[in-house]
Amino acid sequence: MEQRYDVIVIGAGIGGATCAALLARRGIRTLLLDKNAIPGGKAMTVAKDGFRYDLWPIVGGPSLNSRFAEVLEELEMAGEVELLAVKESSMLLYRGSDPIYRTAIGSAVPGDQGPLGIFELLGLTDEDLPEVGGLFGAMLEMQAEEIAKLDNVTFTEFLSRYRVPQAVRSYLGMWANIVFVVPLDLLAASEAIKTFQDFARGGAGRYHSGGFGRVAEVFCQAVERYGGRVLMKTRVERISVEDGAVTGVVTDKGTFEAPLVVSNAGIQPTVLRLVGEEQFDRSYVAYVRGLVPSWAIMGIRYFLNRPYFEQGMYIAFSDESYLDSERLTRMKSGWLPDELLLFNVVPSFYDRTLAPEGKQCALVGTLCSSDPDLPNAEALWSGIEETAMRIWPGLEACVESRVRYGTAQVSALTRDSVVPGQGGECIGLAQIVGQCGRDKPAARAPLRGLFYVGCDAGGAGGGTHPAAASGVNVADLGGRDHRSRAPAF
Ligand SMILES: Cc1cc2nc3c(=O)[nH]c(=O)nc-3n(C[C@H](O)[C@H](O)[C@H](O)COP(=O)(O)OP(=O)(O)OC[C@H]3O[C@@H](n4cnc5c(N)ncnc54)[C@H](O)[C@@H]3O)c2cc1C
């Protein structure tokens, strides 16, 4: 087996797979390694008993004009996976002070529906409209220079400039929880507003034919099509360093050499475990240790003996169930809201081949802390079950089997836990004040030849999108570095 490459990419998550595919496409000899059997990392799609499903609820935004579309085009592989933006594909359920959930149908296509559905969902009156309209109008129209000034302003501080009713705060609290998996009171307003604009222009709720993770599989095919190599089930144990520069990696399948190493393993595991603290300045190690992970999503996969759900995505929330920092702290000491915030995705709504005829799989989740050793996991699983059965009467009768998932599984499939409470995070580094915009960690590490890729060093946006954006960015940086060197071998 070839041992020497121009670039080694560790991890075939969305960030690593995007980067490796583009590097290979641009003629750079690329090796992509991942410890799992299937590419996709946190966005992986698996197959079992005639179903294909993602391991947890996942849809993307923006629907149109995404980096995924751009990358597939450059790879000339747009025909391999369809990026699906389906009308009337989602349902929001909101409960304010009254006991009944109100509902609104949503679309993944931008401009397909006005704000009226949301206004009705939230029970807003004519009196609310000037302030609420002012808030959303300001977010939509804000110019890039103004947005950049909000890197150090929390979304809660930004909202305090407007006198909007609790229902709007609950809606935006839910949105911060689902899109960034952080609370409103820590989320950087710059990140929130940039993403809000992307979703308003491009829609949100995209899914992919063949499963969400199919796109990562296609990127891996691209690596091999363009002359690179993909080794799955290969765990990188160490990144080798000589004289202040990376020289390759040591894996459980052997040693590989390259002057450039791109790590999708997470900035904390990369610095603190794969390279080792001794290779970095003390202040950089302290900075890396102090980075804050996003929160997590845990839940239950329901396999149904008949189709029950009529939409592809559901989000159920109330004034009580979206989480801010104070509520998460209370949850850690045993408090739970009466009903939990639920996020539910039904893959076969988007692509009927994803479930056997007459069956359905629903991936339901709620928010929790990123600790892989979650002390209140049992209570949360029970809460999810109770809330789901209350919101969707008749669901219980359709359940053929159910499988729980949690932060320990997320960590095992994606990044190692190297700092207390870290590992099960949903996104990567939290998109909070101090870690966004100009304060986001740089993709180029302070060690010659080492780059980070994925959400930890990504652009703005929700979930998988910053990972793909980071893949594009690091392919550009790595390509430039490669061209500026004499041929490596
Ligand atoms: C429960 C849950 C729900 C989510 N819902 C959504 C959603 O609805 N919409 C959305 O856009 N996003 C969602 N996300 C977030 C999204 O999946 C992530 O933000 C994104 O996929 C992260 O991509 P990444 O490339 O940064 O890293 P990862 O997906 O973490 O990929 C890292 C890869 O590196 C590999 N790796 C790590 N260490 C090693 C090693 N030592 N050797 C070899 N390989 C290694 C891992 O195996 C993995 O494949 C969700 C995530 C979770 C967990």
Distance from C-alpha of 234 to C-alpha of 185, rounded to nearest angstrom:
40
The tens place of each residue's pLDDT in the chain, 489 residues long, gives: 789 999 999 999 999 999 999 999 999 999 999 999 999 999 999 999 999 999 999 999 999 999 999 999 999 999 999 999 999 999 999 999 888 999 999 999 988 776 778 899 999 999 999 999 999 999 999 999 999 999 999 999 999 999 999 999 999 999 999 999 999 999 999 999 999 999 999 999 999 999 999 999 999 999 999 999 999 999 999 999 999 999 999 999 999 999 999 999 999 999 999 999 999 999 999 999 999 999 999 999 999 999 999 999 999 999 999 999 999 999 988 999 999 999 999 999 999 999 999 999 999 999 999 999 999 999 999 999 999 999 999 999 999 999 999 999 999 999 999 999 999 999 999 999 999 999 999 999 999 999 999 999 988 899 999 999 999 999 999 888 988 875 544
Distance from residue 144's CA to the centre of ligand 1 (Å): 28
Q: Which of 464, 465, 472, 473 to mutate to test the pocket of ligand 1 (most atoms within 8 A of CB)?
A: 464
Distance from residue 6's CA to the centre of ligand 1 (Å): 25
φ, ψ for residue 405 (rounded to 5)? -135, 155
Q: Is 348 in the pocket of ligand 1 (CB under 6 A)?
A: no
Q: Is 43 in the pocket of ligand 1 (CB under 6 A)?
A: yes
Parse the chain into domains and list their residue ranges.
Answer: 7-44+213-292+427-483, 97-166+185-202, 296-412
Measured by CA distance, the residue closest to atom 24 of ligand 1 is 454
| pLDDT tens by residue, 190-232 | 999 999 999 999 999 999 999 999 999 999 999 999 999 999 9
Residue 486 confidence (pLDDT): 53
Distance from C-alpha of 60 to C-alpha of 208, rounded to nearest angstrom:
9
Beta bridge partners of 47: 52
Distance from C-alpha of 406 to C-alpha of 422, rounded to nearest angstrom:
13
User: Please, what's the largest Cα pairwise distance for the chain?
Assistant: 70
Q: Is 430 in the pocket of ligand 1 (CB under 6 A)?
A: no
Distance from C-alpha of 188 to C-alpha of 191, rounded to nearest angstrom:
5
Residue 10 confidence (pLDDT): 98
- CATH number, domain 7-44+213-292+427-483: 3.50.50.60
For the entire predicted model, the pTM comes to 0.97
Distance from C-alpha of 71 to C-alpha of 424, rounded to nearest angstrom:
28
Do 467 and 13 meet the contact criterion of CB atoms below 8 Å apart? yes
Q: Is 236 in the pocket of ligand 1 (CB under 6 A)?
A: yes
User: What atom of ligand 1 comes closest to residue 427's alpha carbon?
Assistant: 19
Per-residue three-class SS string for 63-126:
CCCCHHHHHHHHCCCHHHCCEECCCCCEEEEEECCCCCCEEEEECCCCCCCCCHHHHHHCCCCH
Distance from C-alpha of 417 to C-alpha of 410, rounded to nearest angstrom:
11
